[in-house]
Structure 1
Amino acid sequence: MKENAKSTRLGWKIWFSAIVFGLVGQIAWVVENMYFATFAQDIYTNSGNRDMAYVVTTLMVIFSAITATVTTIFAGGLCDKLGKRKVFVSYGYIAWGLTIMLFAAIPMRADSHTLGLLGFLLVLFDCIMTFAGSTAYDAAFNTWTTDVTDDTNRGKVNTILSVLPVFATVIVFIGLGSLYKPTNESNWLFFIVLGIIPIVAGILAIFMMKDSSHIVKNQNPDFLKETFYGFRKQVIKDNRMLYVCLATSCILGISQQTFFSYLINFVQNTLELGDNFVVPLAVVIIGAAVFTGVMGVLFDKLGRKHFYLPLLTVIVACTLIVYLMEFMPKAAWLPVLYVAGIFMLGSILSLSAALMASFQDYIPTGTEGRFQGVRMCFNVLLPMIIGPLITLIIGLSDVDTSAAGFTPPFKIFLAASIVAVLAFLPLYFVRKDSDRLRLTLSEKRENAAAKTAQTEESAEITEE
């Protein structure tokens, strides 16, 4: 069966909203996923407590994941109940920016009396920021994206959205990275400037964003029961392939989370690039973006299913290659980083986008918001608990106290490669079900088109 169908055209306002608000949301998440972790690692390294850097980073990631998941479950249910997305995105972004600014109050060094307090504040502020961000982005924006797309254009849209974290990283590193220094007494200006960005985006969303006219409101008066709709046994049984798709994303996410929070310090300190890490990392990021863009075109042209297994194979191979750099001459590190890094990151982004599009295809109409909480459990909660715990175990057994900065070990990429291998089993079944899914969705489109035509014909007869 031919997998691709004629793509439904999207208006410029939808593309503008998807790209701009998606990019701003990813800028904020880049700060949360990478800079907040780096921030904590730098504070405890400056204070002579490298072991605490692993502990606090792990606690931040875990509690942030729990906050994000719980928030998205309830906020997603509320989105369906009210039939609204825009209000959560616009005002949520404004609150998001304000919560990022909280980190401006934290200094870059702690003494023996304030180590615990600073750790508590880092975790607390991260959870507060995550609450605002998950309401605005994970619950509302992702539900809005599902509303305004269909199975003929989700591959393209989600591929573009998956590239946005890459551009967000470049913007933060190159455009704003000079404001952040591990040796500063405080990095308050960095967090204030970053907080302004989502605030401006939220104000812009009030005027530019528009909810879909096809939203099906949840009319069930039992809000609490409907909020946990996606966790019911019967719902899981009726939509089993949706959960198989999410299980694949979960394993892929665990693999990524073993190294993602440590990536900056890995490139800067472990690979000994120092302050020169920005350009190599930017090359990898931009190269991965180009790779992902090409994949997005191929997804629509040839069908996503043909790329599932090859992309996962590349992820396994490239994470293994990064680990093996430990045994290579240092002169080879940079060239290997460029090649392996581009294909590793590009494949992760591409496969994540493909799985996200498939997940959206599986969602029953009218339950888009309620399934965002389920997605968060698989894509955020479990990966951000299990992945960092794996790294914590590896890191505490391999702390380098002689290094000048915080140096994550190469072994975290070996762990990432091993975990990624486990994704082959559920991914096989996602690929196997692709033809059936596309046929079902095609029939739904045809039935909806026929119903619309019949309604218009009846309206014309009535007017006559």
Structure 2
Amino acid sequence: MWTLGLAGQLCWNIENQWFNTFVYAKIAKDSSIVALMVITSALVTTFSTFIFGTVSDRIGKRRRFVSIGYIIWGFTTILFGLTEFAGRGHVGTGAKISVWAAVLVILADDFMSFFGSMANDSGYNAWSNDMTTDKNRGQVGAVLAIQPVIGTIVGTVLGGLLIGAENNYQRLFWAMGLFVIGTGVLSLFLLKDSPDLKPHKEGSFIQQFASVFKAEGFFSHKELMLACITSAVFFISFNVYFVHMGNWMIYRMGFDASRMGIIQGVSLLAASLLVIPAIGIINKSRTPRLAACAIILNSIGLCILSFFIRPYSVHTGVVFSLQNSPLFLSVFLAGAGQILVTQSMTMWVKELYPETSRGQFEGMRILFFVLTPMIVGTIIGNIIVKKGAGSVVNEFGITENIPVESIYIWGAVLALSALIPLYFAAKLYNKRKNRSLS
């Protein structure tokens, strides 16, 4: 669970963290390319999760989808990096940006996302849920919550070091791709399915695929729906600002990739320690309280970023300086909130899955945790960046979209609005827990 999860999260981190800075460095400083990448990859991810989730439910096997998916995922990561050569000769010149390079980088990202979802979303996530019981739910939740954090820490710090001041993205994509391929090959021999996993067929493939969308399927579970809506609203907020955070630190604040990685890595490492006490809170059936506190923490961190962090208030030369302490604090608080929301809401939602349809319901989770937030949040973020003070015309007459601090206050407002559906979801949660105790 740890090895596969970490490999997957490292690969997702590269997509979420470094693909966007790669586009700015090698293709164009255009937030629309980043937005289209995020939106189309979210659509592909969701489609892939539903397809392979339904197949794995029908045949009662997950391991081959995980192993083969990881191997192909690694190859497509390397393939994405090669799109750099399509953009060569256009970046930093007066020439019109190559439309072909932009299209190619978007398609390469979609191709990677399709197999990444097969491996991780419909494969690994459903498999980990097969292994979860009431006795280990808090621990598994901590594992699943801390993996993205470790992936972000290691991926950001190591990624920044591999890229370096010379912007060598090839080192990053080749190293990560080969690592994921190796993990997939290893899992071919070591990964086992849960002994309780059985084939579950409901008519034809198309009938079973569509069953989750019927009124008596996913949408009949009110608590599950409200928990998913809460998550969707929060992660819309996350996608508004996080997609642009790397470019904000590099092109607005003035840090290079390696220093940016250290700031995010150290802050999130400290934030990840909070998953340990959170295990006990989840196991004591206080998940809604944990989620509410996490949302508030996240919003406080975003407010600090918006109101108190400016290019003149940071020290780009010395990372660990007193001058940078507000930046470290804000990233810590925002990261802590995001980590704890992920931990609490993921385990809350997975607890409500029907045993016979975990693969399909994983697709529904992706719909709320990934697709909707990535589309809606990315569109909102793109509008904010393009309308912001950072959008300027360079000496070649090309408009460059540099994110500014206002994006974080919008993220905070959206994050706090998640407390509304959380309130109603918590009432159903507490009612269900009290009923089980009586």
Q: TM-score, normalised by structure 2?
A: 0.89
**Structure 2: distance between partners of 1:270 and 1:163:** 29
CA contact (8 A) 1:63 1:127 kept: yes
- Cross-structure match for 1:449: none
Structure 1 position 187, deviation (Å):
2.9
**Structure 1: distance between partners of 2:219 and 2:107:** 37
Greater mean deviation of Cα atoms: 241-250 or 146-155: 146-155
| Rg larger for | 1
- Cross-structure match for 1:364: 354
Structure 1 position 74, deviation (Å):
0.8
CA contact (8 A) 2:233 2:418 kept: yes
Amino acid at match of 1:60: M
CA contact (8 A) 2:296 2:337 kept: no
- Cross-structure match for 2:392: 401
CA contact (8 A) 1:159 1:353 kept: yes
Amino acid at match of 2:246: I
- Cross-structure match for 1:84: 61
**Structure 1: distance between partners of 2:407 and 2:391:** 14
SS at match of 2:355: coil
**Structure 2: distance between partners of 1:181 and 1:116:** 27
**Structure 2: distance between partners of 1:328 and 1:306:** 36
Q: TM-score, normalised by structure 1?
A: 0.84
Match status 1:211 vs 2:201 = no
Match status 1:263 vs 2:245 = yes
Amino acid at match of 1:56: I
Structure 1 position 204, deviation (Å):
1.3
| Distance verdict in 2 for CA 1:439–1:95, change over 3 Å | farther
* Structure 1: runs of 5+ lacking an equivalent: 1-17, 444-464
Structure 1 position 396, deviation (Å):
1.0
Structure 1 position 313, deviation (Å):
1.6
CA contact (8 A) 1:253 1:379 kept: yes
- Cross-structure match for 2:10: 27
Q: Percent identity?
A: 26
Match status 1:242 vs 2:232 = no
Match status 1:190 vs 2:172 = yes
Structure 1 position 146, deviation (Å):
1.1
| Distance verdict in 2 for CA 1:271–1:303, change over 3 Å | same
Greater mean deviation of Cα atoms: 34-43 or 21-30: 34-43
Structure 1 position 231, deviation (Å):
1.2
Q: 1:142 aligns with which of 125, 139, 153?
A: 125
**Structure 2: distance between partners of 1:432 and 1:238:** 17
Structure 1 position 442, deviation (Å):
7.0
Amino acid at match of 2:4: F
SS at match of 1:362: coil
**Structure 2: distance between partners of 1:139 and 1:167:** 21
CA contact (8 A) 1:308 1:431 kept: no
Amino acid at match of 1:233: A
Match status 1:93 vs 2:70 = yes
**Structure 2: distance between partners of 1:283 and 1:188:** 25
CA contact (8 A) 1:228 1:370 kept: no
Match status 1:432 vs 2:427 = yes
Matches within 5 A, 1:64-79: 64-79=41-56
Greater mean deviation of Cα atoms: 270-279 or 253-262: 270-279
Structure 1 position 326, deviation (Å):
4.5
SS at match of 1:234: coil
Match status 1:388 vs 2:378 = yes
**Structure 2: distance between partners of 1:373 and 1:441:** 28
Greater mean deviation of Cα atoms: 360-369 or 391-400: 391-400
| Distance verdict in 2 for CA 1:389–1:171, change over 3 Å | same
- RMSD (CA atoms): 2.4
**Structure 2: distance between partners of 1:427 and 1:81:** 33
**Structure 2: distance between partners of 1:181 and 1:403:** 25
> What are the superposed Cα offsets for residues 324-372 of structure 1, whole Å, 9 maximum, x if unpaired?
1247961586211222211211111111211111111111120101111
CA contact (8 A) 1:291 1:343 kept: no
- Cross-structure match for 1:43: 26
> What are the superposed Cα offsets for residues 186-210 of structure 1, whole Å, 9 maximum, x if unpaired?
6323211110111111111112211
| Distance verdict in 2 for CA 1:441–1:223, change over 3 Å | farther
CA contact (8 A) 1:216 1:365 kept: no
| Distance verdict in 2 for CA 1:37–1:291, change over 3 Å | same
SS at match of 1:401: strand
- Cross-structure match for 1:421: 416
**Structure 2: distance between partners of 1:267 and 1:23:** 25
SS at match of 1:369: helix
- Cross-structure match for 1:225: 207
Q: 2:155 aligns with which of 166, 172, 179?
A: 172
- Cross-structure match for 1:117: 100
Amino acid at match of 2:392: T
Structure 1 position 289, deviation (Å):
1.0
| Distance verdict in 2 for CA 1:440–1:19, change over 3 Å | farther
Amino acid at match of 1:377: L
**Structure 1: distance between partners of 2:190 and 2:218:** 36
Q: 1:292 aligns with which of 266, 275, 287?
A: 275
**Structure 2: distance between partners of 1:143 and 1:276:** 36
| Distance verdict in 2 for CA 1:188–1:308, change over 3 Å | closer
Amino acid at match of 1:104: G
| Distance verdict in 2 for CA 1:193–1:423, change over 3 Å | same
SS at match of 2:199: coil
**Structure 1: distance between partners of 2:106 and 2:216:** 36
CA contact (8 A) 2:268 2:335 kept: yes
| Distance verdict in 2 for CA 1:191–1:236, change over 3 Å | closer
Structure 1 position 169, deviation (Å):
2.1
**Structure 1: distance between partners of 2:59 and 2:355:** 15
